[in-house]
């Protein structure tokens, strides 16, 4: 496991923020915001969610939700994605996740190279590949990914045949073939190239 940094600036309340599901053909984009203290950040042995197995992510989700000072997850629907585009929907999900935290952070650490804030938001710093550098962003990446994967697994029961229980709505060959054969569902992003 990498030795992730706890804070960008020690002595202030920082929330890590990340999203999951930007490249999917179906389902919501999901963002999480997490505030950790130094002890929890060190104890959790976190990493970027993409580098962890599903089993490890699921186990860490339970511990993060138990040990974080505060955490929140926000879903922005496929309809909203089609309305405002995926980039703006990702920013919206991040803003909503931060707004739902019951502790107001002094600063937000955003995974990625850009972010559109709002007047009510604390200041932020964008960190490229931040989920592999800062514990709070890594924790947010794990929560966003696991909450979204759970949603897609449940949705796969209502909409069988697309393989969402395995592909979580990403553009796999099986998913694209299913769209051709079965058509779209009310969870598909119609503004995306689906074939």
Assessment of whether the complete model's pTM goes beyond 0.85? yes
pLDDT digits over 112-126, tens only?
999 999 998 999 999
Specify the DSSP element, H or E, that contains 79.
Answer: helix 78-84
Count other Cβ atoms within 10 Å, centred on residue 165. 14
pLDDT digits over 147-187, tens only?
999 999 999 999 999 999 999 999 999 999 999 999 999 99
Instruction: Kindly state the percentage of the chain with pLDDT values over 70.
Output: 99
Domains of the chain: 14-149 (3.30.420.10)
169-178 long-range Cβ contacts below 8 angstroms, 24+ apart? 169/21, 169/24, 169/25, 169/26, 169/27, 170/23, 170/24, 170/25, 171/23, 171/24, 171/25, 175/25, 175/26, 176/25
pLDDT digits over 65-114, tens only?
999 999 999 999 999 999 999 999 999 999 999 999 999 999 999 999 99
d(CA 34, CA 137): 7
- The pLDDT assigned to 42 comes to 86
């Amino acid at each position: 496991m990498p030795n992730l940094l706890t804070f960008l600036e020690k002595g202030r309340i920082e929330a890590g923020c990340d999203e999951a599901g930007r490249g999917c053909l179906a389902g919501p984009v999901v963002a999480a915001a997490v505030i950790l203290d130094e002890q929890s950040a060190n104890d959790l042995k976190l990493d970027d969610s993409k580098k962890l197995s599903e089993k490890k992510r699921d186990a860490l989700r339970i511990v993060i939700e138990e040990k974080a000072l505060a955490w929140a997850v926000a879903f922005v629907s496929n309809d909203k994605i089609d309305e405002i585009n995926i980039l703006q929907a990702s920013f919206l999900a991040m803003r909503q996740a931060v707004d739902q935290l019951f502790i107001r952070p002094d600063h937000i650490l955003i995974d990625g190279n850009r972010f559109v804030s709002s007047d009510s938001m604390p200041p932020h710093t964008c960190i490229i590949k931040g989920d592999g550098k800062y514990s709070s962003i890594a924790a947010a990446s794990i929560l966003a990914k696991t909450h979204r994967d759970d949603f897609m697994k449940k949705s796969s029961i209502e909409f069988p045949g697309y393989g969402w229980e395995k592909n979580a709505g990403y553009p796999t060959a099986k998913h694209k073939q299913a769209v051709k054969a079965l058509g779209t569902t009310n969870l598909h992003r119609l503004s995306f190239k689906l074939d």
